[in-house]
A and B are shown apart, each in its own frame.
Chain A
Amino acid sequence: MNSQICLSCKGIERYLGEEEERVHALRGVSLEVEAGSVHAVVGPSGCGKSTLLYILGLLDPPDTGQVAIESKSVSHLSDDELARTRNKFIGFIFQFHFLMEDFTAQENVMIPMRKLGQLSDVQMRERANDLLEAVGLGDKLRRASRHLSGGEQQRVAIARALANDPRVILADEPTGNLDTANSDRAFELLQNIVK
């Protein structure tokens, strides 16, 4: 059973802010996420959902506690090793798509692949095309990301998160900035990916 756990954390504590503004954002959070499952962290605004997500995504270190990817603790890893782990195992989707404005949709999807360096340029391009096709943007591969609509940009962000075939996708309110139609489409996409 343990071999199917792709992401876990134990006893996560996190304080935010300093001195009088210091807030205890996370108190002893522990969880285990199985491969192929979809989980939602819900709660009121400011309860620490995003903080937990950044810790699980190795972007922010916890004050105490441990994070493990595929049952391997990452607490002792250096900044470079954490970056490498992030590149290979984790895909992020943010509320604001966070695309690189100077790049086309296709190039945005290729950026994580370039860093991983496992595919040739042609293979990267083909994979980016397939992913964009899958999110319904096959006809807008070479369009500059800033010329895409909000919904389209978020779909490119989803394709980009899938670029390196990650074990975990962390989505921080991925539909928070979209209208209902685009929200439904994004959710559908994410669920299809898991399936």
Chain B
Amino acid sequence: MTPPLYIALRFLTHRKRALLLSLSGVVFGVAIFICTQAQTQGFARYFIDSTIGSNGALVIRSRFRPRYEPLMVSAKGSKATMGRRLYFEGITNPNEIMRVSRQFSNIVSCSPVLRGTVSARAGFENATVDLYGIDPALHAQTTDILHQLINGNFDDFRNNTSSIIIGSRLAELLQAGVGDTVQLLAPNGEFWRFTVAGIARAGIGSIDATRIYAHARVAQALLQQPSGATMIIYKLRDPNRAPALASRFETLFQHNASSWQEREESTLQLFLTLRMSVAITVSLIILLAGFGIFNVLTMSVLAKIKEIAILRSMGYRRIDISLIFLWQGAVIAVAGSLLGCSLGALMTWGVSHIPIRLRGLLYTNYFLVTWDWRHYAFATLLALIAVFIASYVPARRAAQLPPVVTIRGSR
């Protein structure tokens, strides 16, 4: 143990109240940072997993071709590309697009979907629903529908073309359970009868309240759609690379392609804003803790002026004196971060057990948290920086104190 560390530890342990004050600031700052980040990211992560699990990481929709208007010149820097396209509903030759897109290494699987809006009736209840005509096998590979089933059996759906899977909130609205009959209104005014084979909960209110899955061919007949698919959804190995792949697919297939980031941009921005807002607030707490440490160490320097002079007279260098106070800060930062991380984990665990009944944007019965080592690393880094800055000034001041002035003053 170096002499400055030895002396720093002794100084620290002999001022227990000051040590406790400094330490508690760092501990609570780090813990609250971790806990709040775990919560805000928990909700965001749940939303992202749910939306990717239900709607895929990438979706190809309408075919387009450039609008040939050579006399029209757009303004410089204008992003009016969309305006210069003509869109045609539906996917042209979905099987060929899927065959080619499967060649891409990032593609895990893909599923064609025929989508339309219809009215649903069960008993005396009516609702406007989002009908998804799917290939059960491909859809099960591409989405989390198997895990989302909270009632019923996917095999029953797969083996019965006149069966459907309905969203959990829609099931509540229609008061329909597994085995019940739900009627869907075709555009020609004819009601088609379906048996509910399963109830799915994606966890996102807008999906659970409107979605019905039916077999693709049945949906095609019901919706009287000429094309076999209105969109293709993709499961990716790395969903974070979806925007780049979407851009590539647009060029390659001349179909509109959108990543989950683009699709959910507004909600993701909301989560990001919330997370940043909380992070700023909690960072201020850590900075406040740093300010507390600055005060404690400055007071310590003032209280130890005599000791500093003695040490200098015994041959301790200015850097040794600085190190004594920097070590005190370092010990507080390291111990505070370790304790803060432990407390943060405990608080996160505790928060994840707090009951909360959310049935809006998301479906959950408990607070959602995420366990991410980066929260702990970032909180620790923030604490170390704050404490270092807080210790540096008093340490520097202590080193600059001329010993003779103190010794003379003590006479």
Question: What mask results when residues 97 to 126 of chain A are scored 1 for a CB within 8 Å of chain B, else 0?
Answer: 011111100010001101111000000000
Interchain residue pairs A-B with the least CB separation, the first 6: A87-B315, A102-B14, A114-B3, A86-B315, A83-B317, A60-B404
Bound form: Cα–Cα A85–B317 in Å: 11
Minimum C-beta distance from A11 to chain B (A): 20
B285 at the interface (CB under 8 A from A): no
A100 to B407: give the CA distance in the assembly, Å. 14
- CA of A160 to CA of B59, assembled, Å: 80
Q: A98-B310, A98-B410 are in contact. Are A59 and B316 (CB under 8 A)?
A: no
The 8 Å CB contact of B313, one of A59, A80, A88, A107, is A59
Given contacts A50-B411, A60-B404, A102-B10, contact A111 B317 (CB under 8 A): no
Say which size band chain B's interface belongs to. 20 to 34
Pairwise interchain contact A59-B403, C-beta atoms closer than 8 A: yes
A143 at the interface (CB under 8 A from B): no
Q: Please, which residue of chain B has its CB at the minimum distance from the CB of A111?
A: B314
Instruction: Decide if the interface of chain B is mainly helix, strand, loop or mixed.
Output: helix
Known: A57-B313, A60-B404. 6 other contacts (CB 8 A): A59-B407, A87-B315, A94-B410, A98-B313, A100-B311, A112-B315
> Once the chains are docked, how many angstroms separate the CA of A57 from the CA of B411?
17
- Pair B315/A83 contact, Cβ less than 8 Å: yes
A86 touches B319 (CB 8 A): no
Please tell me if B99 contacts chain A, counting CB pairs below 8 Å.
no
Contact B410 A83 (CB under 8 A): no
> How distant is the Cα of A57 from the Cα of B20 in the complex, in angstroms?
39
Question: What B residues does A15 contact at CB under 8 A?
Answer: none
Per-residue contact bits, chain A 55-80, to B (CB 8 Å; 1 contact, 0 not): 00101100000000000000000011
Per-residue CB proximity of B1-21 to A under 8 Å, as 1/0?
A: 001001100110010000000
Is A102 a contact partner of B310 (Cβ separation < 8 A)?
no
17 A-B Cβ contacts within 8 A? A50-B411, A54-B407, A59-B403, A59-B404, A80-B317, A80-B318, A83-B318, A84-B317, A94-B313, A96-B411, A98-B313, A100-B307, A111-B7, A111-B311, A112-B314, A115-B315, A160-B314
| A95 to B410 CA separation, bound complex (whole angstroms) | 9
A98–B319 touching, CB < 8 Å? no
Of A60, A86, A101, A117, the residue contacting B314 (CB under 8 A) is: A86
Residues 141-153 of chain A, each 1 if its beta carbon lies under 8 Å from chain B, else 0 = 0000000000000
